[in-house]
Amino acid sequence: MKLQTILNRLQKLHPKEIDLSLDRVKNLCKKLGNPQKKLKYISVVGTNGKYSTIQAVRSILKTANIDCNIYTSPHIQKINERFIFNDEEISDDNLSKLLIEVENVNNGEQITYFEILTAAYFYHASKFKDKINIIESGLFHRFDATNIIDNNLSSIVTSIGLDHLDWLPKNEQNIEKIVYEKTSSLLNSTIVVSKQSSDETLNLIKKTINNNQSKKIIYKDDFNYSLSENGFIYYEDEYGGLKLPKPNLLGNFQIDNCATAIATVRNLQLGVKDENIKEGITRIKSIARLQEIKSGKLKNICKDNRLYLDGSHNPLGAKALNEYLNTLDCKKHLILGMMYNKNHEEYMSHFNDISSITTIDIPNQPNAIKGIDLKEKLNKYPNVSYKKSIEEALISVNPEKDDLIMITGSLYLAGELLNLN
């Protein structure tokens, strides 16, 4: 409760109107001694795949005995997940002490919640100066609080698509603007560009980073992979080819993320061996990304039916999830909860061959669309129903033998489910 009380106080520092500026976080970091200038980074920008790519990089480096500090957002179950130091999640007590110290230095100045958390991360990370910091950019990169660093080893650009459009002016809610916001201010180092959903998006990225003096490593141009019939991955870049096992994550889109992680790690020349890469991609820790729920009270409701959880919440995520579901020879039932500001119809348009859809309320999320309203938006689909809770939804599905149940639509929903289970 002590930690939550502190977090509640920090949220009240949020300015009534947000100007797109880095001044607030820069001013606080200056008071803290500019800790962000003392560290080395791998920065990760994009729309989808950031978390999974970070976890792949982390796992590969860990097998080579290289522990990292990691800063990600949002968290799934608890805020401590955002703060990884020396490959360990920060404890409640240490996070409370850290936030109180940074809060006192801030001295009541208006600052966004994300900005003060970011400053706190930099401040604590400076106690582990020899570690590589893998940091995930927030909504957009150009005015994101993480974009105040100097010593960047590499920038990773994961898949970019339409999301968080409500943060942009109406006349700029397009892929060109999103690519610009995410990639126009990348530091000079090395830029690794992951597989993109379209040639248009890739060409926009290439155009935006064209004048950046960084070495550019682009999927298909500079690294590539192929899948063999016997289940192996053949990866290739300027350092040679690798025959790899499939990663321990479901979905071919995760192979894209692993390939990007491998390209990044090999280019950094940190002494990582091929054996470390092979082992690392089979030990990736990931939650709420095509995660099978194998035990707990929610699984007990489903009995012998497979229960999966995926935090996808935008069109690109829906498309990737549907591609995986289409590889399965069974009936699929969706339980869906989403935030209010998402394009709900566009999200659902990427699914096919779904036997039923059950919309639900997301607990403890005032900015979520009510399940009954989401149902009304999706009434054109067959077998759409509404249930208030996850438990009621699972009971109502009444699946046949071998049917699959997928809970999706929001990372916030994923967190609530995992906490409930």
Residue 299's φ and ψ, nearest 5 degrees, are -65, -35
Same domain, yes or no: 239 and 363 = no
Measure the CA–CA gap between 43 and 268, rounded to whole angstroms.
Answer: 13
Both tokens of 225, joined, read: 């992979």
Q: Rounded distance, CA 120 to CA 63, Å?
A: 28
User: Does 331 map to a domain?
Assistant: yes
Looking at the fold, whether 310 and 269 belong to one and the same domain comes out as: no
Residue 11 maps to a domain: yes
**Residues 265 and 316 occupy one common structural domain:** no
Question: Is residue 285 in a domain?
Answer: no
Residue 106 CB coordination number (10 Å): 21
Q: How far apart are CA 247 and CA 235, in angstroms?
A: 13
Same domain, 230 and 298: no
Same domain membership, residue 74 and residue 27 = yes
Task: Tell which residue, 350, 363, 281, 288, has the closest CA to residue 322.
Answer: 350
Same-domain check for residues 99 and 215:
yes
| CATH number of the structural domain spanning residue 314 | 3.90.190.20
Does 165 score more than 70 pLDDT? Answer: no
Cβ atoms < 10 Å from Cβ of 329 = 6
What confidence tier does 169 reach under pLDDT thresholds 50, 70, 90? confident
- Residue whose token pair is 């929001």: 410
pLDDT tens, position by position, 74-105: 999 999 999 999 999 999 999 999 999 999 99
| Pair (276, 299) in one structural domain | no
The pLDDT assigned to 164 comes to 67
Span 334-353, pLDDT tens digits = 999 999 999 999 999 999 99
Residues 160 and 197 in one domain: yes
Average pLDDT over residues 260-284: 97
Question: What pLDDT, on the 0 to 100 scale, is given for residue 330?
Answer: 95
Whether 286 is covered by a domain: the verdict is no
The pair of three-digit structure tokens given for residue 27, joined into one six-digit string: 């001013």
Q: Same structural domain for residues 178 and 235?
A: yes
313 and 177 together in one domain? no
pTM above 0.85, yes or no: yes
Q: What pLDDT, on the 0 to 100 scale, is given for residue 80?
A: 97
Looking at residue 170, what is its pLDDT? 79
Question: What is the arithmetic mean of pLDDT over 271-280?
Answer: 97
**Domain at 261, CATH number:** 3.40.1190.10
- Residue 1 — very low, low, confident or very high, per pLDDT cuts 50/70/90? low
* Residues 324 and 188 placed together within one structural domain of the fold: no
How much is the average pLDDT of 112-133? 96
Give Cβ neighbours of residue 194 (< 8 Å, ≥ 6 apart): 46, 49, 53, 156, 157, 158, 159, 219, 256, 257, 259, 260
Tally of domains within the chain: 2
- Choose one of 257, 280, 303: the last residue of a domain: 280
Q: Do 226 and 262 fall within a single domain?
A: yes
Q: What pLDDT, on the 0 to 100 scale, is given for residue 257?
A: 97
Domain boundary among 280, 308, 328: 280
Which of residues 246, 280, 314 is at a domain's end? 280
| 182 in any annotated domain | yes
d(CA 105, CA 78): 24
Instruction: Print the domain residue range for 219.
Output: 2-280
